[in-house]
Structures are given as C-alpha cells and as structure tokens.
Amino acid sequence: MAKYFDVHPDNPQPRSIAQVADSVRSGALIAYPTDSCYALGCRLGSRDGIDRIRSIRQLDNRHHFTLVCQDFAQLGQFVQIDNDVFRAIKASTPGSYTFILPATREVPRALQHPKKKTVGVRIPDHVVTQALLAELGEPLLSSTLLLPDEEEPLTQGWEIKDRLDHVLDAVVDSGDCGTEPTTVVDFSGGEAEIVRRGAGDTARFE
C-alpha cells in the first residue's frame, strides 16, 4: 500500500518533503507532481525502480528515462554539453522541457539509450518538485506517469493512489498539475531536433 502525502503546492511542508526523500533514499518508487504532469520517480541507482517503472508503463529498453535535476550545475554532471547547446538549454530552464544529450560516466548504463548512449535531463519549474530535489540532494530518475493504452497521464493524486496503490510506495499530491507532458528536444546530434511537442514552447528550437 502506497503512503499518501498531501503537500501544499506553494508552501510544501518540510516534514512531508523529508519523509518522501527518505523513502526515495530507501528505494521507494513514488508518483509526484511536476510542471507538466505527474511522473514516476525513484533513486538514480535503483535497478529495482527502473524495472518497476518499465513494468507499470510496459516500456522496452529503447525508452529514454529522464534525470530530473534541481539546477543546471547538477544537470551538467550527467550530460555532455557544448557551448551552443549550453546557451540554448540554460535559457529554457527551469521549464517544461526534456533534453536528450550524450550521457557522462555518472549515468548508469541501464539508464542510457542502448545504441546512442544518451539520456534525458530536465529542470522542472515546480515548487514541490524543487523542494524534494533540494532535500534529496541528487536527481530523481523519472518517467511520465502515462499508463499503457491511455492517451493522457493521470492528473489527480487521489486517483493515482486509488489505481496504483499496489505498485507504488508513495504518492505526493499537491493538486492538479495538468496532462501535457514536456516538450522533448534531442541535442545529441549537435542540432536541436524536436522529438515531442508538449508543454514547453518550441519556437526557440525551430
């Protein structure tokens, strides 16, 4: 049974955030809100967490997982960025974007695209997510909470708790955060390639 945390969207309770972070450190798989939609998240090095996300979403090994980072300094530890790409990403963060970039050695091989050796990274513009990342002190390994054969992600914490109670360890509810996933921009080839149009404005990458 998943623990349920009712967290204020603008002033998240420090005690609740600390409890969620402790759960993640202990290997928990959580559902949490972002600035685009709810996501599944676990600790970066959790092989069990990766397997459980793949099972819930029925993903194959070509799926790009995302490292959700607190800030640009943290993001830079996990991906290789040249100067032009640096400027483009810096100008768009925090925000509703996921960027696909070549992974550094800090990224476990299980998270990298098997052929391209790339990984997705993002810096969310969401108070609760930022509070959790600050408390955790490391990125969350994440994937959009989009269930198989459904066109839109789940948007309500109580519904996530009700439907996924048996496969999650915790649900963080801070209210509705929308149904549109991030815009995905692939910079792994050096030029911006828009892979998915979502919540983030694509104009600067066209």
Q: Where are the domains of the chain?
A: 3-205
Task: List the end-to-end C-alpha distance of the chain, in Å, as a whole number.
Answer: 45
Domain 3-205 has CATH 3.10.450.50: no
pLDDT digits (tens, 9 = 90+) for 122-147: 999 999 999 999 999 999 999 999 99
Residues forming beta bridges with residue 122, ordered by sequence position: 68
Q: How confident is the model at residue 206 (pLDDT cuts 50, 70, 90)?
A: confident
The pair of structure tokens assigned to 54 is 């793949």
pLDDT for residue 16 is more than 90: yes
pLDDT the model gives residue 64: 78
CB of 141 closer than 8 Å to CB of 46:
yes
Confidence (pTM)? 0.94
User: 37: how many CB neighbours lie within 10 A of its CB?
Assistant: 23
pLDDT for residue 58 is more than 90: yes
pLDDT the model gives residue 3: 96
Q: How confident is the model at residue 190 (pLDDT cuts 50, 70, 90)?
A: confident
81: left (phi over 0), alpha (psi -120 to 50) or beta: beta
pLDDT the model gives residue 119: 93
User: Rounded mean pLDDT of 42-48?
Assistant: 93
pLDDT for residue 111 is more than 90: no
3-state secondary structure of 79: strand
CA 15 to chain centre: 22
Q: Cα(55)–Cα(175) distance, rounded to whole angstroms?
A: 26
pLDDT the model gives residue 65: 86
Q: Cα(118)–Cα(132) distance, rounded to whole angstroms?
A: 25
pLDDT the model gives residue 5: 97
User: Rounded mean pLDDT of 191-200?
Assistant: 93
| Strand ranges (E), 23-116 | 30-32, 39-43, 66-68, 97-102
Side by side, the strands of the sheet bearing 140-144 are 3-6, 170-173, 30-32, 39-43, 140-144, 66-68, 118-122, 97-102, 183-186, 193-196
Residue 149, classified by CB atoms within 10 Å of its CB into exposed (0-12), middle (13-18) or buried (19+), is exposed
User: Rounded mean pLDDT of 22-32?
Assistant: 97
pLDDT the model gives residue 154: 84
